[in-house]
Amino acid sequence: MSATTTPKDGVRDAGAVFGASTDPAAARASQGSSGPGRRRGPIDPRLVRRASATRWFLVALVVVGAVGALLTIAQAWILSRSIGGVFATGDAGPALRFLVPLAAVFAGKAVLAWLNQWLAQRAAASVKSQLRVDIMRARLERPLDCEASTGGLVTLVTQGLDALDGFYSKYLPQLVLAVVVPVIVGVAVLTTDLLSTVIVALTLPLIPFFMALVGWTTEARTRRRFSLQTRLARHFADLVEGLPTLQVFGRARAQAEGLRRTEAAHRAETMTTLRISFLSALVLELLATLSVAIVAVTTGFRVLFDQMDLTAALFVLILAPEVYLPVRQVGVHYHDSADGMAAAEAAFALIDPAEPGVAAAPKDRGEIAPDVGVESTTILSGDDRPWLIAAERVGHTYPGTSSPAVEGVSFSVRPGQFLVLTGPSGGGKTTVLNSLLGFIRPSQGRILIDGQPLNDTALDSWRRRLAYVGQNPGMISGTVGDNVRLGFPGASDADLRSALDAAGGPELSLDHPVGDDGQGLSAGERRRVATARALLRITHGHADLLLLDEPTAGLDADAEATLLHGLRSLGVAAVVVSHRPAVIAEADAVIEIGGPTDDRGGASTGSANGRLPKATEGPSPEPAEGPLAEPTDGAGGVR
Ligand SMILES: Nc1ncnc2c1ncn2[C@@H]1O[C@H](COP(=O)(O)OP(=O)(O)OP(=O)(O)O)[C@@H](O)[C@H]1O
């Protein structure tokens, strides 16, 4: 269980509205221990690039904004003409004929406001749905590479992305209006009065300038708040998951205090963000009001001294606030966008691990990287069948850790061969297996499938060739039969039965109920059900590589012997993680992974390679083949 925030816990910051860094190096630098990177300007270009709904939404917003600006000018024209007319003639009658066009303008503006919201809701829904699908796809592709914990991921996919509503329905429309409206309305003012235009042109830029100042202050706060929110969610998810353990150790109540502290910190951060938000709105409001006041005073005096026509003055006075309003509103709605943008950043970090700050495997160009070396080990001599799978100097360093979990592992497996990975706990066996599954992109070396780099192979098609049993195999709720059938949905009950028997579970009934997360089955039974599922995938689904992590753990000697016999008789290639002598005895080759612990406490620093025909059968290993066939100076080596 972990309730701590990892360096990149799926949370990125929201930067200033204007003036946020676009420098990737700066973004990387800011992703140190505090994690988040900087927001890249008012709109994250990845939203436009990746979320296609954003593109047409921006275009529609410009059109709606321009029509809205023209209606505002029409409204000012009608009002100034009618009011000016009343003052000039002293008769309100002629002004009444302006009522109908004025009503039409108001109706038009109402329709535009509705259209704006409708477009925004549609765009937000479409982008959220696209991001959710992309996140889930990324998670399925790299279930172990994603750094967000389940709690963090759930927060992000549910309420986290919902924060994009504010971005699409308020911030983005306002941002577009802030550009379109001042230009169109400014031209209308210019055609009427040059002095007012100059005053507006000089004072208007002050608003974004102050906004940037406020943005810089808010940036870190918003980031911290989102980070705390995620931590609260993680803390809670961890607590719920670990409740039985905490209760046994009498620590359940003590956790409530920790939860209260995280919650209090979250509340304090939210209040601070709100305070800054209100204060910034006040400052911007004041600035805009003073600017309009300057326009009003100058036009008022000119009207007084007959230097300006009242109708023109009214026209300028009605329009002047409309120039400032959309720019001012950007600042107000910025706070609506900040959470959404932080969530979008977190989503991109999961979807696109190649983004700065995310550990990514070196790009495989189909050739061996210079530091990787060309050595490989064939595990059986005299066999000229092509390799099915090969690992070349594979190593992996998990994000957030400084030393490799495993390194320098090389081996190759031909169809029908049975390779066992063994070694001390924490040595990196599961990491190697996860690399073969494509769950992890090794940070060193590469995996080759039929001679092609796994990185260049579609994971879907590769996984169709795999049958896999992990250390904690996933179970669906239903029956044992339902779970075995996952291996081949078209299998008959007789097929399920024989797979289960071969997996060492003859006593398990197909109708045995299975609850959520395998409830109702012992750990050993779960493993047997999962093994039966994998066997079915080989015999009926035509998978040609079996990947097993400790398949016989929890089995008695008879069941183990039955299972091993079943596995060997399948005749497919198998890579099996195991410490059990009986499994090692069945192997065509055994590779030892890991060795003496380093200062990280438990990581493998050894190399692994080797060949051993039936480890327990031959009196001594056959002569070594190739440069890597000898044990290396690391902890790993030929057994
Ligand atoms: N997601 C992760 N993030 C950081 N470190 C990890 C992660 N998963 C594993 N490790 C570390 O990598 C090392 C190798 O782990 P791995 O699970 O591959 O070992 P193993 O040989 O399969 O162990 P065991 O025999 O106990 O299952 C361990 O030190 C472990 O702490």
- Residue 491, pLDDT > 80, answer yes
Quote the ligand 1 centre to 158 CA distance (angstroms). Answer: 30
Q: Which domains does the chain have, with CATH numbers?
A: 42-351 (1.20.1560.10)
Token reading at 549: 């992590």
**Protein residue whose Cα sits closest to atom 4 of ligand 1:** 398
Q: What is the dihedral angle through the alpha carbons of 96, 100, 103, 109, rounded to the nearest 10 degrees? A: -130
Q: 83-111, pLDDT tens digit by residue? A: 888 877 777 777 677 888 889 999 999 99
| Ligand 1 mean position, distance from CA 153 (Å) | 21
Residues 6+ apart with CB under 8 A from 26: 38
Angle made by CA atoms 210, 214, 217, in degrees to the nearest 5: 145
The tens digit of pLDDT for each residue in 109-157 reads 999 989 988 888 888 888 888 888 888 888 777 666 555 566 667 777 7
Calpha distance 577→553 (Å, rounded): 11
Q: Which residues have any ligand 1 atom within 6 Å of their CB?
A: 398, 401, 405, 425-431, 594, 602-603
Query: Ligand 1 atom 28: the closest Cα is on which residue?
Result: 426
pLDDT digits (tens, 9 = 90+) for 590-613: 998 875 433 333 333 333 333 333
Contact 629, 610 (CB under 8 A): yes
Q: What is the DSSP string of 503-543?
A: TT-TT--TT-EE-GGGTTS-HHHHHHHHHHHHHHHHHTT--
pLDDT tens, 437-477?
A: 888 889 999 999 988 898 888 888 888 899 998 888 888 88
Whole-number average pLDDT of the chain? 75
Q: How far is the CA of 390 from the centre of ligand 1 (A)?
A: 21
Among 55-59, 218-222, 455-459, name the one with the lowest average pLDDT.
218-222
Pocket test for ligand 1, best of 149, 398, 600 (most atoms within 8 A of CB): 398
Q: Is the ipTM of this complex over 0.90?
A: yes
Residue 138 half-sphere exposure toward CB, CA atoms < 13 A? 21
For the CA of 577, the closest atom of ligand 1 is 22
Best mutation site among 429, 432, 439, 471 for ligand 1, i.e. most ligand atoms within 8 A of its Cβ? 429
Provide the 8-state DSSP code for 358. Answer: S
Which residue, 264, 351, 401, 331, is CA-closest to 12? 351
* β-strand pairing of 452-453 with 513-514: unpaired
For residue 50 the two structure tokens come to 């990746």
Residue nearest to atom 30 of ligand 1 (CA): 426
Report how far ligand 1's centroid is from the alpha carbon of 596 (Å).
14
Burial 37-57 (b: 16+ CB within 10 A, else e): bbbbebbbebbeebbebbeeb
CA 484 – CA 494 distance, rounded (Å): 12
Closest CA to 439 of 168, 215, 139: 139
Residue 573 bridge partners (DSSP): 545
- Name the nearest CA neighbour of 589 among 387, 438, 404, 344: 387
Distance (angstroms) between ligand 1 centre and the Cα of 572 equals 27
Cα–ligand 1 centroid distance for 405 (angstroms): 6
- In this prediction, residue 67 carries a pLDDT of 92
Q: Ligand 1, atom 12: nearest CA belongs to which residue? A: 405
Among 430, 440, 600, residue to substitute to test ligand 1 (most atoms within 8 Å of Cβ): 430
- Which of 67-76, 153-162, 589-598 is predicted least confidently? 589-598
Burial class (CB in 10 A: 0-12, 13-18, 19+), 579: middle
Q: Is the pLDDT of residue 334 over 80?
A: no
Rounded Cα distance between 539 and 552, Å, is: 20
Nearest CA to ligand 1 atom 26: 425
* Cα 133 to averaged position of ligand 1 atoms, centre (Å): 29
pLDDT surpasses 90 at 635: no
Residue 5 CA to ligand 1 centre (angstroms): 19
Nearest one of 468, 439, 427 to 576, comparing CA atoms: 468
The CA 150 to ligand 1 mean position distance, Å, reads 18
3-state helix, strand, coil in the chain (%, to 5): 55, 10, 35
Which residue among 6, 146, 431 is best mutated to probe the pocket of ligand 1, counting the most ligand atoms within 8 A of its Cβ?
Answer: 431
Does 411 or 163 have the greater pLDDT score?
Answer: 411
Q: Give the Å distance between the CA of 337 and the centre of ligand 1.
A: 39
Question: Residue 407 — φ and ψ, nearest 5°?
Answer: -155, 155
Read off the pTM.
0.54
Q: Which two tokens stand for residue 439?
A: 């769950």
Nearest CA residue ID for atom 10, ligand 1:
405
